[in-house]
Structure 1
């Protein structure tokens, strides 16, 4: 969940590291720090809080160095305090930054304390610094010491190390957490995310699990987990610097909400222009993998799990395939029965979500060979571990609360349902044309939903005064109620819960009073009359209803009932449209409350810890 960046070059790297940390701050923002080598000296600056505070401290100390490492932290081991901020030092001669979790750090700490090392933090990272220092005393250089230390670590990590004894060498290692290298004209760089390297290079190498690399100003050496020299292919990043800049928007979340029409159009482009060509959409092995599939298992977490709950219903109604949707962190630890004909689909925005990745690994261990990743980052761990992959084209998502990643995942799941229906002979040509035409119109309909923002702002002003909220939906739209409640509590800190509307009378109705606003996702579908009855249950008990309806529904506003109308009912694609107003409601409620929209407390973007 943390972000790391740095490098070795022929010029002062402090400005590059600070800019890289600013771009990585979405990964963690409890504290930040930087360590540099200049001449024979190791200098470190750390601060609690945001990168801007670290940059100010570095400027006051006139920090500079040709070799440096930086870190922005999401706290796991140890509280938010400067003593727990990275980089961690050992004997004032070795500095380490780390993203991930070292599972055996207690045993390593006891071993190192027995060797005479004193600890100044509660972090698991400090054991890495002391361990590398210990091995450096016995080794020819830092590269050898880092490789030996990595062999002792259990867990998930991306680390970078520098040493006073090796002023022309920087070492990095990866296991289970993202790490990539940048090739520059005058040096080499590393980062958790390509966005951090765009100011200096677009030439990128992606490290594999187990890799350890030695970075020098004029050279690069990589070995794998067995110690064998390996070559990782160079790629030219297509990500533009503008894509990770705020532009005219107030927050990244606002920008990303408004980017959804374009993100959906880009994600759907191959299908709406080329039809449901299996190999083109899903890869050359797709025909083989999809052949005689008899069920689908979705593995995901958080917002991606809510997308899979919608996808499950699409698979069953369109393709006629039984489908399950499970949380990755729960699936991994239960005894499940493998089915060789089942398609296992993982969903993740970053492709580095650890609990989803470990669930995929578990599924493969017990015999699932048909795997598909739906992800927004092509070179991330989950797609690389999957037999098939579909890359959503949402572009970088910086705001912690996911928006465009969610709707593009829904688009991908709809395409999957159509593709499997066609492969099973359940999608006549005329129906295929109709579905693709509906997808072609989807970005425009989303734009119409975005145009409702002024009306939603008015609602948000009322919500910001409340402490609790209830979200209701039925059928395909219950997951959208879940997503709306999640967004509201994530960024506005208003406690919110979501229920299938029919569940009201089985307990949640006890919570309803004039201080509990009730948001209802009310599309003009076959469940509308049932939903209307559930709304009456709320209204009769003094609850205030906020209804997101369709243009062609019969709802009208009255005392205690507020209605905003979306475009005409979009059929099976309606969940995509109804996701937009709940995102806007959460965003504007957070604005009114004055919370940090892009960086909500206690959260971070890429969840690389379990």
Structure 2
């Protein structure tokens, strides 16, 4: 959940490191630091808070070097202090680390017995001292790294420099993303391509267990057995424009408004060629015909996408579907049916809990796996038999928006393909679903046009401490997503329930100070939802209703209504996601919170 950048060049790399950390700040922002090798010495600057504070300190101290590493941190071991910030240094060896070392306490005691003193509470300082210990024993920097990682248990991405070897940096990867950027007479290390896109688009993605040596002129990669290996060079298609704010106040607002285009890009292939199994891979038809059910594994917002898909899959494809939080699944004695397709959903493709759940599912005997992901060549897609990329583009705001709706679009495509292959979707049905998909970007744009009205509602939410979200059927997961968004960025406590559950307990919470958001599309459950709304009004609750254009709702005292576009059928959850995103965004704006970087959270969750 942190960010790494490193560079070696014939020019000053400090601006490259600073710019890279700014682009990685969404991954973690408790503290930041850089270390450079300058005149056979290691210089370091660290600050708690944002990258800009560390940048000012580096400028005032005159940092200028041709080799360096940087890090932006999201605290795991140890509090948010300068001493715990990266890089960590041991006798001229500087190191940055993403991940968690599970055996750090055992290693710490061994190192203390060898005379090493610890300045921080982090697990990372253990690695720095281990590196120095092996260098002192006669290893060079690469050999010391390869020996060190064999003593570590856990997950890591590492970048290391030393004052004694100013012509190279070394790195290692296990469980956390790390890549090498290839330039002309200069090379780079990063945890995310966005950190180095201003310098190069040519990248090598390190595999599990890889170590590497990086100089100005060459890159040498070694596998987990320390044998030289060639890794494929990829050309990144990440757009610099997608990493810039443009005319928007925040990345979250920008990404909310990018959803019509993101959805259009995600469904382009199905609009052009129909619901073909090849959307998911060359051998997808044989795999998807063979399955008898679906097991979805995901975390956070992606989990809510999976909950929505369960309604679609069971109703349209006729297959049983279960959805589980990945971090829970991986630690229970789960039942495994080899004929069930394991679907993992992850925006980053690096979510550690989801990756480990996938490994666990395979160990239980699951034969077929499919990944829905937004980041090509990330770990989870590479570990999956079938893949569907959502084409949302770079998502910088910590609170997921366009990644969620494109996941829904991808899951709907999977649903219809499964329905066709299992004889439950006719040609007429397919044509209807295709038409609904074709209109989806336009319906989302209509929902975006409601922003001024939603901003007025947000003023009423801003002073509140709690909120309740209600939905039924397909729209219950959207209520969950709405509550999560409000919690994440406005810090208002919010809960979501199926509307029919009100009378089984949550109704006790309702009073005049508890705003109740209701997702009320014009579907077969609308009359049931109206009855639940009456339960709220009878207890003095104030209702904020997102209804379809063709729903029969009338505003009255204590009942506020905003009408989204006409009912969009089975894809209605995608459209109704937009208003709850906008409500959370404008409420956070009114409360003055940091919309793109909410406290205690980070974008890419690569720790357990």
Bin the TM-score by the shorter chain: over 0.9
Runs of 4+ that moved beyond 2 A: none
Equivalences for residues 4-23 of structure 1 within 5 A: 4-23=4-23
Residue 64 of structure 1 aligns with which residue? 64
TM score, norm. by length of structure 2? 0.99
Hey, what does 2:112 align to over in structure 1? 113
Distance 2:367 2:228 in 1: 30
Q: How does 1:381-420 map to 2 (within 5 A)?
A: 381-420=379-418
Q: Shift in Å at residue 95 of structure 1?
A: 0.5
Taking the aligned partners of 1:319 and 1:139, their CA distance within structure 2 comes to 62
Residues 231-270 of structure 1 mapped to structure 2, 5 A cutoff: 231-270=230-269
Aligned length: 608
| 2:580 corresponds to | 582
Please list every run of 5 or more consecutive structure 2 residues that lacks an aligned counterpart in the other structure. Answer: none
Q: Distance in 2 between matches of 1:403 and 1:601?
A: 18
User: By how many angstroms is 1:139 displaced?
Assistant: 3.0
Compute the displacement of 1:292 (Å). 2.6
Corresponding residue for residue 39 of structure 1: 39
306, 311, 331: which one aligns with 1:333: 331
State the alpha-carbon separation in 2 of the partners of residues 267 and 523 from structure 1.
24
Pair 1:76 & 2:76 matched: yes
Question: 1:148-547 to 2 correspondence within 5 Å?
Answer: 148-279=147-278, 281-547=279-545
Helix, strand or coil at the partner of 2:224 = coil
Distance 1:309 1:286 in 2: 23
Per the alignment, residue 3 of structure 2 pairs with 3
Shift of 1:276: 1.4
Query: SS of the counterpart of 1:521?
Result: strand
Q: CA deviation at 1:243?
A: 1.2
Q: Please report how far the alpha carbon of residue 140 of structure 1 lies from its aligned counterpart in structure 2 after TM superposition.
A: 3.7
- Cα contact 2:7–2:16 (8 A) shared by 1: no
**1:31-76 deviation line (CA, Å, top 9, x unaligned):** 0000000121110000000000010000000111111000000000
d(CA) in 1 for partners of 2:168, 2:211: 13
SS at match of 1:347: strand
Write the distance in 2 (CA, Å) between the matches of 1:555 and 1:94.
Answer: 67
Structure 1 residues 430-439 or 133-142, which shifts more?
Answer: 133-142
Q: What is the RMSD of the two structures over their aligned residues, measured on CA atoms?
A: 0.6
* SS of match in other structure, 2:231: coil
In the aligned structure 1, how far is the partner of 2:201 from the partner of 2:21?
17
Deviations along 1:492-528, whole A, 9 cap, x unmatched?
0000000001110111101100000000000001011
Gaps of 5+ in 1: none
Alpha-carbon shift at residue 138 of structure 1 (Å): 1.7
1:570 positional shift: 0.7
Greater CA drift, 386-395 or 426-435: 426-435
2:140 matched to which residue of 1?
Answer: 141
Correspondence for 2:127: 128
Give the TM-score, by structure 1 length: 0.99
Does the 8 Å contact 2:296/2:344 carry over to 1?
yes
